[in-house]
Amino acid sequence: MSTSQSSASHLQWSLVVPVKVLARAKTRMSAAAGPHREALALAVATDTVAAALRCDRVRNVIVVTDDPLPAADLAALGAHVVPDVPDAGLNPALVHGAGRGRELAPDAGVGALSADLPALRPDELSRVLDVAARAAVSFVPDAAGIGTTLYTARPGVEFSPAFGGGSRARHRERGAREILLPGIDSVRRDVDTPEDLRAALALGAGPRTTAVAARLPAFA
């Protein structure tokens, strides 16, 4: 490995995690989660942020949310919380958070990380970020191969995420490097449906998600 490659692989990152207002979160889990839907949404986001903060390649986690409950809980973990000032949809919110990340650490890369990764493992995230460090812009597709769970841009590179339905195709069309490594299932396993949650629990979800799932009849 050359000196420049070694330096790139040790790049630090500021990751932006968007967290919905809990009343609007995890709607596809309504039938399975019932009255625990908001608690599940908060648990999933909390386990995701906690794992990201434990990753040795992550310098800062910036949470973008307008909900005071996750704002307080995630700030207590050590995340920087900013409101969704643009209030213009997901991608503008991520750009706003990335701007804060670059203020906090101008020499770090910036990334957008899904808040729906309750089985996220810090070592797997570290491996992904080391690969991302060697490309201007990169992304990780979700387990379904349709969406995106992580989008990154190196320092000095425009941060222009295209999250939303079919984002994998859009990120590829824009020239972002697709990261498909073996053994990064926890970085790709986002949770939107009961089937997704079962898969995350099988991988080994974080303690908060596991605890809430145990209260759901379908998962007890």
Q: What is the pLDDT of residues 70-82, one digit of tens each?
A: 999 999 999 999 9
Domain count, the chain: 1
Nearest alpha carbon to residue 175 among 125, 218, 144, 139: 139
* Residue 45 within a domain: yes
Tell me, what's the pLDDT at 4?
Answer: 43
Say if residue 164 carries a ligand binding annotation: yes
- Burial 122-137, CB ≥16 within 10 A → b, else e: bebbbbbbbbbbebeb
Say if residue 148 carries a ligand binding annotation: yes
* Residue 218 within a domain: no
* Residue 87 within a domain: yes
Give the predicted TM-score (pTM) of the model. 0.95
Domain that holds residue 198: 3-213
Q: Give the CATH number of the domain where residue 94 resides.
A: 3.90.550.10
* Residue 119 within a domain: yes
pLDDT tens for 135-176 read 999 999 999 999 999 999 999 999 999 999 999 999 999 999
When pLDDT is averaged across residues 39-43 and rounded to a whole number, the result is 98
φ/ψ (deg, to 5) at 166: 70, 25
* Residue 220 within a domain: no
For residues 2 and 186, the answer to whether their CB atoms sit within 8 Å is no
